[in-house]
Amino acid sequence: MLFYLQNEIDNCSLNLLIKNMSEVNSIANMRRVYQLQSLLEKDANPDPIKQFENWWMHAIETKVEEPNAMTLATCNASGKPSARIVLLKEIKKNGFVFFTNYQSRKAKDIEENGFAALVFFWKELERQIRIEGLVKKVSSEESDEYFSIRPRESQIGAWSSPQSSVIENREFLQENVLKFSSQFQSGKVPRPDFWGGYIVEPAVIEFWQGRPGRLHDRLRYSLSEHHDWNIERLAP
């Protein structure tokens, strides 16, 4: 009897423990208190590219992991969205540059609908940056220049992968790597004409700084008809 009671108690506490553990681990209960810094109008640079560069330098100094990884969202002609990560390779006065395959799904979307969005999330700094604008190809000279400084392995990789196409198996890629490695021998690997850069020219950039109590700071820069940047605060 005593043993039975003891067992009952054990089962009860076990259930409680399991319940508590599952609450602790549940997605609904996962949240972080954002408290590191603020983003106030008085501190914001009037030019969003400069503001981006300020935050970028801070991300580098504080060793944010892969700060140049950004989500690129595109839409096809029927408005169907798709998103993926690409790497920012250059910050220019007029926008943000990444490189990819010009026959990929994203490239087809961009051909059909020239607008795209980028999102950076720098967890360590509790910061998000959202960029929206028109996407254009960079010049072939710029693509050549960047392609020429890529590791040889990545250059061969660009030739070997018909990005976004269905392929039969992994061997297909490995055979292509062998084929293109022997084609280019040890000489220079030229840039394939189906590979190059795009620039996202921002019309809107929003800087988001996490704050306590979910009262985050959001400053949105929008390009006016006169090509000035208007800054507005958005509710979090």
The residues binding ligand FMN (CB under 6 A) are 69, 82, 84-87, 98-101, 104-106, 163-164
Closer CB to ligand FMN, 82 or 183, in the complex:
82
152 counts as catalytic: no
Identify whether the C-beta of residue 97 lies closer than 8 Å to the C-beta of residue 89.
yes
The CB-of-103 to ligand FMN minimum distance in angstroms stands at 9
Q: Which residue number, 83 or 223, has a Cβ lying nearer to ligand FMN?
A: 83
Contact call for residues 201 and 19 (beta carbons, < 8 A): no
CB of 233 to ligand FMN, least distance (A): 32
Beta bridge partners of 196: 100
C-beta of 168 vs 225, nearer to ligand FMN: 168
Contact of 37 with 209, CB cutoff 8 Å: yes
49 vs 116, beta carbon nearer ligand FMN: 116
Cβ-contact 106, 195 below 8 angstroms:
no
- Taking the complex as a whole, how short is the minimal distance between the CB of residue 29 and ligand FMN, in angstroms? 28
Tell me the three state secondary structure of residue 64.
Answer: coil
Instruction: With beta carbons less than 8 A apart as the criterion, state whether 41 and 231 touch.
Output: yes
Residue 220 has phi, psi (to 5 degrees) of -110, 125
* Distance between CA atoms of residues 36 and 118, nearest Å: 24
Question: In terms of Cα–Cα distance, which of 66, 105, 100, 78 is closest to 191?
Answer: 100
Q: Which is nearer to ligand FMN, 69 or 223 (CB)?
A: 69
Nearest approach in angstroms of CB 129 to ligand FMN is 17
Which residue out of 84, 127, 150, 214 is catalytically annotated?
214
Q: Is there a contact between 192 and 159 (Cβ–Cβ < 8 Å)? A: yes
Torsion of CA 31, 37, 40, 46, to 10 degrees: -110
Rounded to a whole number of angstroms, the minimum distance from the CB of residue 192 to ligand FMN is 13
> Residue 196 burial (CB < 10 Å; 0-12/13-18/19+)?
buried
Active site amino acids: 214
